[in-house]
Amino acid sequence: MSDNTGAPLGAPWAQQPSPVPPPRPREPPPEPEKPKKRPLRAVLLAVGLVVLLGLVGVAVGHYAWGPKTPPAPAKVVSAPPPPFDVAAAVAKVSPAVVNIDVELGLEGGGAAGTGIVLSPDGLVLTNNHVVEGATAMHVTDVGNGHGYDATVLGYDRSHDIALLKLAGASGLATATLGDSNAVRVGDGVVAIGNAGGVGGPPSASPGRITRLGRQVTAADEVTGATETLHDLIQVDADVQSGDSGGPLADPRGRVIGVDTAANAGYVFDEGLRPHEGFAIPIAQAADIAQRIRDGKASDTVHIGPSAFLGLTVVDAGNGSGALIKSLVAGGPAAKLGLKANLLVVGIDDKPVTSATALIAVLDTHHPGDRLRVTVAGQGGKTATVTLVPASGPIG
């Protein structure tokens, strides 16, 4: 991967960054003045909940995460991590970290997360769930202390990756990317991020890799939509809310993963320990980022603005469609006369069997596309209307 000057995205920084304050201790943050959704996936196997944005740009859902069975065969290590200079690793990575603050205009709230600088002109890697639902974003670069407005170039919902572009950025310190294919169970790591969403210098939590190749599945308890992440790195570092999108680094300060989820303090029979976290391997994340940068859309990679219908849906059950629960006043669906309790059963020539299927279809479309939307009412009668999505919140 390279920036538009030809410099590798994972190359050492071209210039000496400004001094970065030492990492702040991981303490419970003070309550913010107004509520924030602080993105972090909570892995609770069965009962835990975390608020994330849901469908069609507006719905808010609760996701319960858990490793699929059978669990990955990797052995859980109980030995302490090999000693390494945590402060030195953090000092190398921190200048390439950004704090992300997101406005959720339709929800009347905000969110906070972390990102990793990939290029001097402001390409930033983060989680899709950090920016999902965003109507505006402000990013603060830790390396130079400057703030920037940001836009989302594209995202891959199924792998929880998004690529941002900072407006007017230049000369930023960039992260050195490591080889996530070479990591092993027992390797020392440090998770770095905007823990608690409080901003300022990033906090850091050392630990070790406890398992590899983990798979977790999310089910939205409001909409029924599901999502599965594969081949995750499991660590016993204390990954916290707000760390999402931040770097998981090795002892040499090379980024080997993108923090995306955490256990919320429960102990389970499948080897999941209290306060363990999960990270997307950097090889996978960097490949997706490059495809977004190259404008190569696919069934999972969405490029550019999101198609916004202005409605919320839930699974109707039995593969019968996506049930409309509410509509945004003045949105495309409301203007067309669609109503709550109608079933969306098709878009163009593609059947819509669930809320998840509707998300997948919309991720292949953009504002201004003319969509033939088939809806079904009571009694099973169907009608097809032409709906033109607007540009709306991310995802």
Q: Give the tens place of pLDDT for each residue, 1-13.
A: 433 333 333 333 3
Q: How far apart are CA 19 and CA 326, in angstroms?
A: 50
Predicted confidence band at 240 (pLDDT cuts at 50, 70, 90)? confident
The pLDDT, as a whole number, for residue 1 is 43
Element at 334 (helix H, strand E) = helix 332-336
Q: Higher pLDDT residue, 361 or 262? A: 361
Which residue in 272, 145, 125, 129 sits closest to 210, CA to CA?
Answer: 272
What is the reported pLDDT for 338?
93
Share of the chain above pLDDT 70, in %: 73
Q: Which of 45, 38, 28 is nearest to 266 (CA)?
A: 45
Q: Each residue of 369-379: pLDDT tens digit?
A: 999 999 999 78
Peptide bond into 70 cis (omega under 30): yes
In whole angstroms, what is the distance from residue 337 CA to residue 331 CA? Answer: 10
How is residue 219 written in tokens?
């089910």
> Lowest-confidence range among 56-65, 131-140, 263-272, 376-385?
56-65
Predicted confidence (pLDDT) at residue 200 exceeds the cutoff of 90: yes
What structural domains does the chain harbor?
36-293 (2.40.10.120), 305-391 (2.30.42.10)
Cα–Cα dist 395/146, whole Å: 27
Active site residues: 129, 160, 244
Q: What confidence category does residue 209 fall into, taking pLDDT thresholds of 50, 70 and 90?
A: very high
How does residue 225 score in pLDDT terms, banded at 50, 70 and 90?
low
Q: Which is more confident, 304 or 20?
A: 304
pLDDT of residue 255: 98
Phi-psi sector, 92: left (phi>0), alpha (psi -120 to 50), beta: alpha
Tokens of 147: 């703030």
Predicted confidence band at 237 (pLDDT cuts at 50, 70, 90)? very high
Q: Which two tokens stand for residue 282?
A: 């950097």
Mean pLDDT of 122-143: 95
Checking DSSP bridges between strand 36-37 and strand 109-117, what pairing results, if any? parallel
Return the pLDDT at 13: 31
DSSP 379: G
- pLDDT confidence of residue 18: 45
**Residue 109, class by beta-carbon neighbours within 10 Å (0-12 exposed, 13-18 middle, 19+ buried)?**
middle
Does the pLDDT of residue 212 top 60, yes or no?
yes
pLDDT digits (tens, 9 = 90+) for 140-162: 999 999 999 999 999 999 999 99
Nearest to 377 by CA among 337, 348, 330: 337
Q: What is the pLDDT of residue 56?
A: 39
pLDDT at 390 over 80: yes
Percent of the chain with pLDDT over 90: 59
First to last CA, the chain: 25
pLDDT at 49 over 60: no
pLDDT band for 177, please (50, 70, 90 cuts): very high
Give how far Cα 52 sits from Cα of 40, 96, 221, 307, Å.
Answer: 9, 26, 11, 19
Q: What average pLDDT is seen over the chain?
A: 80
Q: pTM higher than 0.95 for the full model?
A: no
Q: Is the model's pLDDT at 119 over the cut of 80?
A: yes
Compare 228 and 86 and report the one with higher pLDDT: 86
Q: What is the pLDDT of residue 105?
A: 77
Lowest mean pLDDT among 42-56, 99-113, 334-348: 42-56
The whole-number average pLDDT for the span 344-369 is 92
Per-residue pLDDT of 276-309, as tens digits, reads 789 999 999 999 999 999 999 998 999 999 999 9
